[in-house]
């Protein structure tokens, strides 16, 4: 797992990430391999956290990645402060929003990368108990 996490971190370190126009860094906090359904096909999942200066109301996170073909199936989870509302997503990948977490995924051979944008609103409460 450590090699997979280190590999993803290498790519995260190469990408440009901005929150509200300010450059920030993201990090891999968790990586795992799991079986998809009742098959013997595996997939990799990453949990990526980031920090930045948020404002009241809408916030924008933007990433610029090298465009490439996915070398294997993978899923990425972006975790926002508890109670955040994800209001807009621009990406080439498939995605699903679960409250304050967004799951993005690609299958082996899918085109990934390029420009991505997520607009989210912060909760009125500032408590994050994770």
pLDDT (0 to 100) of residue 56 = 83
pLDDT, residue 34, reads 80
Please indicate, yes or no, if residue 126 is contained in any of the structural domains: no
Q: Establish if 18 belongs to a structural domain.
A: yes
Residue 128 lies in a domain: no
Asked if residue 26 belongs to a domain, the reply is: yes
Cα–Cα–Cα angle for 115, 119, 125, nearest 5°? 145
Task: Please state the separation of Cα 99 from the chain's center in Å.
Answer: 14
- What lies within 8 Å, CB to CB, of 53 at 6+ separation is 19, 20, 22
* CA angle (19, 117, 28) in 5-degree steps: 65
The residue among 56 and 118 whose pLDDT is bigger is: 118
Arithmetic mean of pLDDT over the chain: 87
User: Where residue 114 falls among pLDDT bands split at 50, 70, 90?
Assistant: very high
SS3 114: strand
Please check the confidence at residue 125 and state whether its pLDDT lies above 80.
Answer: no
pLDDT average, residue stretch 24-50: 82
What CA–CA distance (Å, rounded) separates 4 from 93? 20
Residue 86 in any domain: the answer is yes
Residue 129 lies in a domain: no
Classify residue 127: in a domain, yes or no. no
> How does residue 22 score in pLDDT terms, banded at 50, 70 and 90?
very high
User: Which structural domain range is residue 81 located in?
Assistant: 2-121
In a domain, 73, yes or no: yes
Instruction: Look at residue 127 and tell me whether its pLDDT is greater than 60.
Output: no
Q: How many domains, in total, are found in the chain? A: 1
């Amino acid at each position: 797992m450590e090699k997979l996490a280190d590999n993803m971190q290498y790519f995260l370190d190469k990408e440009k990430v901005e929150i509200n126009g300010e450059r920030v860094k993201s990090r891999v906090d968790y990586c795992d391999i799991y079986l998809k359904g009742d098959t013997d096909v595996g997939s990799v999942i990453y949990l990526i956290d980031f920090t930045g200066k948020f404002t009241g109301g809408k916030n924008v996170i933007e990433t610029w990645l090298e465009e490439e073909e996915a070398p294997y199936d993978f899923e990425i989870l972006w975790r926002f402060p508890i109670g955040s509302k994800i209001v807009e997503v621009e990406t080439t990948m498939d995605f699903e929003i679960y409250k304050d977490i967004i799951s993005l995924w690609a299958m082996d051979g899918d085109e990934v990368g390029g420009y991505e944008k997520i607009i989210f609103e912060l909760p009125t409460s500032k408590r994050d108990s994770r």
